[in-house]
Structure formats: structure tokens, C-alpha cells
């Protein structure tokens, strides 16, 4: 790849990351709120943009689906063992029946028996927490979600990697 092509690729990645926060007015307002809260976002440089995973540039709806898939995987062994139709149905309503079935089919790939299950209303939050936990510390502010400390880092990384693999299959 030529230097010009590399610069174009970095510029496109940077634009995609900025677009996640809405327009310039929304970004300025969000930055002001972060400063007031005492949690100003560190400035990113080109190496940070180059290190950003491709999923971080996905449109919000696609990123939400990825987060839900990762969350389902985090407790897939519990899903696979469950006979509680209402609980399984609530997760199917939240993330889609196909995603629940997909997670159950991969339960044996989840290390350490998975994490503690979450309620279907917490599914997206858990997923974004898992995604955020796999980011480098300087990139974490780009994903407005608390890190998920209920899953050990190796489990979070495994769930996100498996969810990414499943999303491309």
C-alpha cells in the first residue's frame, strides 16, 4: 500500500470514528459535558486511529447487534442448559431468535463456563461493556459504555472475537 493510500485509509477511519458521535455540534456538546464531569476524552493520534478495530466504525445498529451477540456468548453455556422458555424467549425478543440459537450452538467454545447471565433488558449494556473492555484504554472513550467487569478479560476477548467471526459468517 502506498503512503497516499495509507493516509486515505487513516482519514476514512478517522471520519468513521468521528461520525459515531453525530455532527460537530453534538461532538462539541458531548465534549463539554465530559469536561464538566471531569472525564475529558484524551486526544487521539494517528496510531490510535490505525489501532481501532474495524467494528468500532460500524453504524450504530450493526454495533448494537454485535454487542448483543457478544453478550449472549458471555453466558451461552447457561442458555444452552436452560429449559426456562420465558427467559429464553425474553432474550430472543431482545436480540433475535437466530442470535440466541447461534449463541447456544457455540456454548462449548466459551471459556471458563461463561459469565453470570444477565436479564434481557441488560443484554445490550453487557455487550457494549464487553466490546469496550477489549479496546485499548485510549480508545475506550469512543464507545460510550462502562467496561464490563463481570467478565474476566480473556472471556470478554473470546466473546467479542467469536461474535465478530459469527457476524462475518
- Determine the pLDDT at residue 18: 54
pLDDT in tens, the chain (169 residues): 776 666 666 655 555 555 555 556 665 666 666 677 666 666 666 677 777 888 888 888 888 999 999 999 999 999 999 898 999 999 999 999 999 999 999 999 988 888 889 999 999 999 999 998 898 887 777 777 776 677 788 899 999 999 998 766 5
Helix crossing, 97-105 with 60-74: angle to 10°?
40
- Determine the pLDDT at residue 30: 61
- Determine the pLDDT at residue 44: 65
- Determine the pLDDT at residue 107: 92
50 in Cβ contact with 138 (< 8 Å): no
- Determine the pLDDT at residue 24: 61
77 in Cβ contact with 110 (< 8 Å): yes
- Cα–Cα distances (Å) from 138 to 21, 45, 134, 141, 151, in that order, read 16, 10, 12, 7, 20
Fill in the DSSP letter of residue 130. H
User: Distance from first CA to last CA of the chain, Å, rounded?
Assistant: 27
- Determine the pLDDT at residue 90: 94
Q: Which of 104, 115, 103 is nearest to 65 (CA)?
A: 103
- Determine the pLDDT at residue 22: 59
111 in Cβ contact with 76 (< 8 Å): no
How far is residue 49's CA from residue 40's CA, in Å, rounded to a whole number? Answer: 18
If you search the block for the grid coordinates 422458555, which residue do you land on?
85
Amino acid at each position: 500500500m502506498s503512503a497516499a493510500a495509507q493516509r486515505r485509509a487513516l482519514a476514512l477511519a478517522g471520519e468513521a470514528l468521528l461520525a459515531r458521535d453525530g455532527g460537530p455540534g453534538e461532538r462539541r456538546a458531548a465534549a463539554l459535558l465530559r469536561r464538566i464531569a471531569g472525564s475529558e476524552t484524551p486526544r487521539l493520534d494517528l496510531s490510535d486511529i490505525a489501532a481501532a478495530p474495524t467494528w468500532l466504525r460500524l453504524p450504530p445498529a450493526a454495533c448494537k447487534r454485535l454487542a448483543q451477540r457478544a453478550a449472549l456468548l458471555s453466558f451461552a453455556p447457561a442458555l444452552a442448559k436452560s429449559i426456562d422458555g420465558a427467559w429464553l424467549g425474553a432474550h430472543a425478543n431482545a436480540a433475535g431468535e437466530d442470535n440466541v440459537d447461534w449463541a447456544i450452538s457455540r456454548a462449548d467454545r466459551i471459556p471458563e463456563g461463561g459469565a453470570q447471565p444477565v436479564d434481557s433488558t441488560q443484554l445490550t449494556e453487557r455487550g457494549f461493556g464487553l466490546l469496550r473492555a477489549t479496546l485499548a484504554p485510549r480508545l475506550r472513550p469512543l464507545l460510550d459504555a462502562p467496561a464490563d467487569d463481570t467478565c474476566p478479560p480473556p472471556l470478554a476477548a473470546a466473546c467479542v472475537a467469536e461474535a465478530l467471526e459469527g457476524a462475518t459468517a
